């Protein structure tokens, strides 16, 4: 039996809030006014301390191709500076945040005239609701993303859309969750409305007939679908979208990199009430299950039926309803599921009742599991603390060793000792723990704000500063730099790059900006030793290179690193092992002084080779 807990906690709380307030009805009224007020792009209205901004759904948008990757564009290139918070996302293994190119162009065309009015509205409001029907909904979502990326005040922002097409890729959906913005977006979707499903899945190349059909749907306007399609055209379109959504829903896999992806909360409306879901997989499955009960005619007409839906949701959503010819389940959890499915108008005797029930149960399980796994990970981390402590002890012993090589060089030049072998084993075990954690995060098994929790940000940073120097030592000890290239560019593990991002996005307190009065326990640049290794290579190149242009460039690199290292030392952001007499850094500085001295004796005509730094 499933646990006796609230099955759809966050999404149902939002749905209950919307149903018990005038937000839905007032938003739809203004959307209707905006659609009728074309060519006005948006209209606004203030009711008490709540301001509504509604965008017209009757707009041109170019480049609407079903499932076409060409219609997606990265926000960091197409709209640099507009969504700064979203530009942090994306890596070698993940695409950047991408949105529909035509929709983004439309938003950018109005932002200059729009932003001044919005800032004025925010000054007098506690809540600003961006709303829109169809394409107007995508403008509402982009406006909310814009304001959330530029927090200007304490004003709350809500995007409330009706029958809107999908906007962006899976990275956008993930970024919204990780920024904790999921509750700021609510999409009202009609039971059979085709528009929210239209861009859901990648499709095979279209036939000329279907391509012409789509052009007729998007010309002159995407927002209001024409009802003049032939019966054959409606049937073709319905079958096309249904097969695509069905294939994606049945796969049970995450949405692909090349696909559009839902985000935020989805309120599925019928004549009986509504269901609210916020899990992407469950949303996709419900989009299919409801759409499958429709037909070619209803999938077009339902796009214009939101006035009836809003009225029904506002009056019926919070009321208890009976279960005709169906015995009430004994479990309170099953009651909650049955109530939700009753609102969906899915026939309890039909073939999709059980799949729909499984869909809602999946949403519930996936909502609780991440927090449970996060709690269990904290326990696992505590078991790895002794491994970390052993490495700390090893570093302390290196710092006071008679050979004066320091932590990095002792490990790099180690022999077959038991102590060194133990440290190497601990290094590998810790790497597996953090790689497994990142895999869980990548596959949505952990809370979406996991990377912002202070416990894990601090733990990952300490691990990186302590262990990455050992990874660098192993990389150069085994000669990997000769096979792949230097560490920073060609050998650094993805986990360290992610931890850099986590640390960079944390909230910085005033105490972190204070001046150090002693050397750090760990060098604050975990790649410092890799930079030293590169600098040692530059010294060797200088000794053999005869091309003056290449020499000038190399000396510039040497000079830049020398200045950077001196700055770290002056600010005491290095550990004392950096300054050990026989450390790689100290030996490099000694080589550099000797080289500069030789060049000054034999090549005084090339003073530019010596850079800006004075010879120590």
Identify the band that residue 493 occupies on the pLDDT scale cut at 50, 70 and 90.
very high
Shared-domain flag, residues 388 and 248: no
- Listed in sequence order, the residues at least 6 apart from 327 whose beta carbon sits closer than 8 Å to its beta carbon are none
**How far, in Å, CA of 225 to CA of 194, rounded?**
10
Domain that holds residue 90: 10-316+326-346
241 and 179 belong to one structural domain: yes
Q: Which long-range contacts (C-beta less than 8 Å, at least 24 apart) are formed by 378-383? A: 378/455, 380/433, 381/433, 381/459
| 63: pLDDT strictly greater than 60 | no
Residue 355 lies in a domain: no
Query: Which of 542, 510, 400, 523 is closest to 473 using CA atoms?
Result: 523
Average pLDDT on 24-42 reads: 83
How far apart, in whole angstroms, are the C-alpha atoms of residue 214 and residue 471?
A: 54
Q: Are 41 and 130 part of one and the same domain?
A: yes
Same domain for 398 and 332, yes or no, is no
Do 452 and 593 lie in a common domain?
yes
Question: Do both 388 and 474 map to the same domain?
Answer: yes
pLDDT digits (tens, 9 = 90+) for 316-349: 544 544 444 444 454 445 555 665 666 666 666 6
Residue 201 is encoded by which pair of tokens? 């899945």
- Which pLDDT tens digit goes with each residue over 252-309? 555 666 678 899 999 988 877 778 888 888 888 888 888 888 887 787 788 888 888 8
Token pair recorded at residue 275: 């269901």
Model confidence band, residue 416 (pLDDT cutoffs 50, 70, 90):
confident
The reply to whether 360 falls in a domain is no
Strand partners, 270: 273
Q: In this model, does residue 75 exceed pLDDT 80?
A: yes
For residue 310, what pLDDT is reported?
Answer: 85
396 falls within a domain = yes
CATH label of the domain that carries residue 97: 3.40.50.1820
Say if 164 falls within a structural domain: yes
Query: Phi/psi zone of residue 48: left (φ > 0), alpha (ψ -120 to 50 degrees), beta?
Result: left
- Residue 261, classed as helix, strand or coil, is strand
User: Alpha-carbon Rg of the chain, whole angstroms?
Assistant: 30
Residues 393 and 302 in one domain: no
Question: Are 409 and 529 contained in the same domain?
Answer: yes
The answer to whether position 304 is within a domain reads yes
Instruction: Give yes or no: residues 308 and 378 share one domain.
Output: no
Give the total number of structural domains in the chain. Answer: 2
pLDDT of amino acid 448 = 81
Residue 2 covered by a domain? no
Residue 339: predicted pLDDT: 57
Highest mean pLDDT of the ranges 29-43, 73-87, 529-543: 529-543
Nearest 5 degrees, angle CA 273-CA 274-CA 276? 165
Contact 504, 461 (CB under 8 A): no
Separation CA 158–CA 18 (nearest Å): 11
pLDDT tens-digit readout, 346-388? 666 677 777 777 776 666 555 556 777 888 888 888 888 899 9
511 located within any domain? no
569 lies in some domain: yes
Secondary structure (3-state) at 43? strand
Name the residues annotated as catalytic: 134, 193, 303
List phi, psi (to 5°) of 72. Answer: -95, 140
Express as a percent the part of the chain with pLDDT over 70.
Answer: 75
Cα 417 vs. chain centroid, distance in angstroms?
Answer: 44
Give every strand in the sheet of 273-277, ordered side by side: 42-47, 50-55, 127-133, 156-162, 185-190, 265-270, 273-277
* Cα end-to-end span (Å), the chain: 74
Specify whether 116 is located in the same domain as 247: yes
């Amino acid at each position: 039996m499933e646990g006796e807990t609230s099955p759809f906690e966050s999404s149902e709380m939002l749905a209950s809030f919307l149903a018990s307030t005038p937000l839905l009805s007032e938003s739809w009224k203004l959307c209707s006014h905006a659609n009728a007020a074309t060519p006005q792009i948006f209209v606004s209205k203030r009711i008490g301390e709540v301001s509504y901004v509604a965008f017209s759904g009757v707009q041109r948008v170019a480049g609407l191709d079903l499932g076409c990757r060409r219609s997606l564009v990265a926000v960091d290139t197409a709209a640099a500076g507009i969504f700064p918070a979203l530009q942090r996302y994306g890596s070698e293994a993940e695409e950047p945040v991408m949105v529909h190119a035509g929709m983004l162009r439309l938003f950018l065309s109005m932002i200059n005239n729009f932003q001044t009015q919005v800032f004025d509205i925010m000054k007098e409001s506690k809540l600003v609701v961006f709303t829109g029907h169809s394409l107007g909904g995508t403008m509402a979502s982009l406006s909310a993303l814009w304001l959330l990326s530029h927090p200007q005040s304490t004003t709350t922002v809500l995007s409330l859309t009706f029958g809107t097409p999908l906007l962006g890729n899976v990275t956008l959906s993930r970024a919204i969750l990780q920024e904790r913005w999921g509750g700021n977006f609510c999409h009202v979707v009609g039971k059979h409305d085709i528009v929210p499903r239209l861009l859901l899945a990648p499709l095979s190349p279209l036939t000329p007939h279907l391509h012409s059909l789509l052009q007729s749907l998007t010309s002159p306007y995407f927002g209001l679908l024409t009802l003049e399609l032939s019966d054959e055209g409606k049937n073709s379109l319905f079958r096309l979208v249904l097969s695509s959504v069905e294939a994606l829903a049945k796969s049970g896999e995450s949405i692909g990199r090349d696909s559009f992806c839902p985000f935020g909360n989805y309120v599925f409306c019928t004549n009986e009430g509504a269901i609210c879901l916020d899990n992407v997989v469950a949303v996709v499955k419900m989009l299919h299950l409801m759409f499958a009960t429709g037909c070619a005619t209803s999938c077009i007409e339902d796009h214009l039926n939101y006035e009836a839906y809003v009225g029904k949701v506002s009056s019926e959503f919070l009321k208890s309803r009976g279960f005709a010819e169906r015995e009430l389940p004994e479990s309170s959890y099953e009651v909650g599921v049955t109530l939700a499915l009753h609102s969906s108008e899915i026939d309890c005797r039909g073939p999709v009742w059980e799949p729909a029930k499984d869909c809602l149960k999946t949403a519930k399980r996936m909502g609780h599991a991440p927090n449970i796994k996060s709690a269990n990970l904290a326990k696992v981390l505590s078991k790895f603390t002794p491994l970390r402590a052993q490495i700390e002890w090893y570093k302390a012993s290196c710092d006071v060793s008679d050979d004066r090589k320091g932590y990095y060089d002792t490990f790099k030049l180690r022999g077959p000792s038991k102590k060194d072998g133990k440290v190497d084993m601990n290094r590998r075990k810790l790497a597996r723990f953090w790689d497994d954690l990142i895999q869980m995060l990548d596959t949505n098994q952990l809370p979406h704000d996991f990377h912002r929790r202070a416990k894990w940000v601090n733990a990952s940073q300490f691990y990186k500063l302590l262990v990455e120097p050992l990874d660098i030592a192993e990389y150069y000890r085994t000669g990997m730099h000769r096979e792949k290239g230097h560490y920073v560019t060609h050998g650094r593990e993805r986990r360290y790059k992610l931890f850099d991002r986590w640390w960079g996005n944390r909230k910085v307190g005033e105490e972190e900006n204070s001046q150090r009065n002693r050397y750090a326990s760990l060098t604050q640049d975990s790649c410092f030793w890799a930079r030293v290794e590169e600098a040692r290579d530059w010294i060797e190149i200088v000794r053999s290179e005869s091309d003056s242009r290449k020499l000038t460039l190399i000396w510039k690199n040497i000079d830049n690193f020398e200045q950077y290292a001196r700055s770290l030392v002056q600010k005491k952001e290095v550990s004392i092992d950096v300054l050990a007499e026989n450390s790689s850094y100290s030996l490099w500085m000694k080589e550099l002084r000797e080289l500069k001295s030789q060049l000054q004796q034999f090549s005084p005509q090339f003073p530019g080779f010596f850079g800006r730094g004075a010879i120590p």
